[in-house]
Amino acid sequence: MLEVRALTKCFGALRACDGIDFDVREGETHAVIGPNGAGKTTFISQLAGMLRPDSGRISFAGEDITSLPAPKRARKGLARSFQITSVYPEFSALDNVALAVQAHSGHSFRFWRTARGDPALVEPAERVLEDVGLLQRKTILAANLAHGEQRQLEVAMALATEPRLLLLDEPMAGMGIEESQRMIALLSRLKQRKTIILVEHDMDAVFRLADRISVLVYGRVIATDSPEKIKLNEEVRKAYLGEDL
């Protein structure tokens, strides 16, 4: 479904991504792990189209998308969530998700009819909110939601665009144990019906959710394999020296 070949991105002398090859199969949950500074966020940003790679190729569902800007990728079905919560703080949870629904319901050069209360937007948005467990909080401004709820909203907005591939950048970032458990439960339901790329530091979550894991170290993929085999991989253990896999 997604195919990355020899992806390279440098910031000055730093090779943040150094010839990455990476594949995602239809239906799988593919985790990307790696120590801090391994280039995970740089990698994800290039997949989502927020950063232009220096060289290499990204194709999605058989189509070369390397030079496609982010909004076009999103409309093709590649949705992302952000590591640092990025929602519309002055809008209600429902508005946030309804906007994501609107983004993939044709153009928005409709100047007159009120968007709030348009069932074509509100109904799908409410379904997604129910899905992630935020329906009771729909009227709350995103800025006033708890951190864990904002993370759920992040995922809801990505989901509402009905993506074919979901790019989740550290969905557990900054969460307490209880919130993390709720997020893991949500993601394990999602993985039944979605193809997911999961970038995550929380190893517990990664090993519970991932079908395959790619390990990124110094901008290179040093291993891609099933969770069991990754656990036993020597090179990976070295990269995570001192950390318990």
User: How many whole angstroms separate alpha carbon 108 and alpha carbon 42?
Assistant: 31
Identify the bridge partners of residue 217 per DSSP, sorted by sequence position: 220
b/e per residue 19-55 (b: at least 16 CB within 10 A): ebebebeeebbbbbbbeeebbbbbbbbbbbbebebee
103 interacts with another protein by CB under 8 A = yes
Select 158 or 230, whichever has its Cβ closest to another protein.
158
Identify the bridge partners of residue 221 per DSSP, sorted by sequence position: 216
Neighbours of 116 (CB within 10 A): 11
Select 94 or 210, whichever has its Cβ closest to another protein.
94
* Residue among 27, 37, 71, 176 that touches another protein (CB under 8 A): 71
* Residue among 46, 83, 92, 152 that touches another protein (CB under 8 A): 92
203 interacts with another protein by CB under 8 A = no
88 interacts with another protein by CB under 8 A = yes
238: left (phi over 0), alpha (psi -120 to 50) or beta: alpha
* Residue among 109, 178, 234, 243 that touches another protein (CB under 8 A): 109
The answer to whether 108 and 92 are in contact (CB under 8 A) is: no
* Residue among 41, 150, 161, 195 that touches another protein (CB under 8 A): 161
Select 95 or 170, whichever has its Cβ closest to another protein.
95
136 interacts with another protein by CB under 8 A = no
User: How many whole angstroms separate alpha carbon 66 and alpha carbon 78?
Assistant: 13
152 interacts with another protein by CB under 8 A = no
Is 46 strand, coil or helix?
Answer: helix
Binding residues among 29-58 for another protein as defined by CB under 8 A:
48, 50
* Contact residues for another protein, defined by CB under 8 A: 48, 50, 69-72, 74-75, 79-80, 82, 86-92, 95, 98-100, 102-104, 108-116, 118, 121, 141, 157-158, 160-161
